[in-house]
């Protein structure tokens, strides 16, 4: 069930994300029109830059003619800075900006632009050489190709928000809703499966019933307290006693502490996060102090090991109290 829930959750997220990010049909159409106009404008700009660079390069050898052509075609002149574009030039930006105030139709905008473009074809640039002529013709053709997509983009009307939402819901809403339903179902299945796993009665070795959490915690606390008392009473331990105490700590960690730690998710699922935090806070401190005692014994520092075990027993007693207060049936 858990794997099925995860699978449904993933599929639901994918579907809802894919269809939730889609534009309404009218917005998609407008985006396509604007994108085409922008690509054509970029091509026109590149062609114009190449042509103007050729014209400006001839200023030194053909000053009067090159300057006259550059000024009429709106090319930038290095000696005079930026020049204004010729009045008859095709300016898609101005067309789009003036659309709202002028209210022109597609035919009006495209017709006016074609008329302005035809006026450019009468300019004679043959004195600047065949390469410049070819570059200018390429620029003119790029502007001619840009007229229709630019005019379509210029006359686009803004799609009202309500229309966008209505169209999106009719086009993508059902599948988006299906994705959300799958997300909810998957999350619920995964949650139920996780809770069932957490609250399932655990088993110990060889399939035998596992020890009770509170019982293990009490035994661990008693053993650690006993070791602390014995260590406090021994003022002159031998190396063999160091090793024996290390072995007892290791055995307690493996036989009692590890099963307690593994029972954490079950305790949380059964009694809540607050009880889990109240119990496992001091329990984690007790575990660190047991490790500290073991490390002190490795360094042959018996007093520090004895002190760490005593503090560990106190932390385990605190964990016992927190378990008894919050969940009496688990202690």
Instruction: State CA 240 to chain mean position distance.
Output: 57
User: Does one domain contain both 216 and 321?
Assistant: yes
Give the structural domain span for 270.
212-330
* SS3 category, 260: helix
Predicted local confidence at residue 169, as pLDDT: 92
In a domain, 197, yes or no: no
Domain boundary among 127, 154, 181: 154
- Render pLDDT for 45-104 as a digit per residue (tens, 0 to 9): 999 999 888 888 887 777 777 888 888 888 887 754 443 443 344 455 444 444 444 557
Predicted local confidence at residue 181, as pLDDT: 94
Q: Which residue has the tokens 């016992």?
A: 320
Give the total number of structural domains in the chain: 2
Residues near 59 by beta carbon (within 8 Å), at least 6 away in sequence = 66, 67, 70, 77, 78, 79
User: Does one domain contain both 128 and 226?
Assistant: no
In a domain, 96, yes or no: yes
CA distance 54 to 137: 13
Contact 159, 26 (CB under 8 A): yes
Predicted local confidence at residue 83, as pLDDT: 39
CA distance 78 to 66: 12
User: Does one domain contain both 220 and 306?
Assistant: yes
Contact 29, 43 (CB under 8 A): no
Spell out, as residue ranges, where the chain has pLDDT lower than 70: 79-103, 197-211, 327-331
In a domain, 164, yes or no: no
- Render pLDDT for 245-270 as a digit per residue (tens, 0 to 9): 999 999 998 888 888 888 887 777 77
Predicted local confidence at residue 247, as pLDDT: 93
Measured from the Cβ of residue 67, the count of other Cβ atoms closer than 10 Å reads: 19
Predicted local confidence at residue 86, as pLDDT: 39
Give this prediction's pTM: 0.49
- Render pLDDT for 288-297 as a digit per residue (tens, 0 to 9): 999 999 999 9
């Amino acid at each position: 069930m858990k794997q099925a829930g995860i699978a449904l959750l993933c599929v639901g997220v994918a579907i809802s994300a894919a269809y939730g990010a889609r534009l309404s049909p009218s917005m998609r159409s407008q985006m396509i029109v604007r994108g085409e106009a922008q690509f054509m404008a970029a091509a026109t700009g590149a062609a114009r830059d190449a042509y103007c660079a050729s014209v400006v390069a001839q200023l030194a050898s053909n000053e009067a003619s090159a300057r006259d052509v550059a000024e009429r075609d709106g090319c930038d002149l290095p000696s005079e800075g930026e020049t204004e574009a010729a009045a008859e030039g095709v300016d898609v930006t101005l067309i789009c900006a003036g659309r709202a105030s002028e209210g022109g139709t597609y035919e009006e905008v495209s017709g006016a632009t074609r008329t302005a473009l035809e006026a450019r074809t009468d300019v004679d640039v043959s004195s600047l050489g065949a390469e410049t002529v070819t570059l200018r013709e390429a620029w003119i053709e790029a502007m001619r190709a840009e007229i229709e997509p630019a005019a379509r983009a210029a006359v686009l009307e803004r799609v009202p928000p309500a229309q966008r939402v209505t169209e999106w819901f009719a086009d993508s809403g059902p599948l988006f809703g299906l994705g959300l339903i799958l997300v909810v179902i998957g999350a619920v299945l995964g949650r139920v499966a996780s809770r069932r796993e957490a609250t399932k009665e655990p088993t110990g070795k060889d399939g035998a019933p596992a020890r009770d959490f509170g019982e293990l915690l009490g035994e661990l606390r008693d053993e650690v307290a006993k070791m602390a008392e014995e260590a406090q009473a021994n003022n002159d331990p031998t190396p063999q006693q160091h090793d024996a105490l290390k072995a007892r700590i290791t055995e307690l960690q493996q036989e009692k502490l590890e099963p307690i730690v593994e029972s954490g998710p079950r305790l949380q699922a059964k009694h809540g996060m607050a009880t889990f935090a109240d119990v496992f806070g001091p329990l984690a401190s007790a575990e660190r102090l047991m490790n500290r005692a073991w490390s002190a014994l490795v360094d042959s520092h018996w007093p520090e090991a004895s002190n760490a075990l005593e503090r560990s027993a106190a932390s385990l007693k605190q964990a016992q109290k927190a378990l008894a207060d919050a969940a009496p049936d688990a202690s």
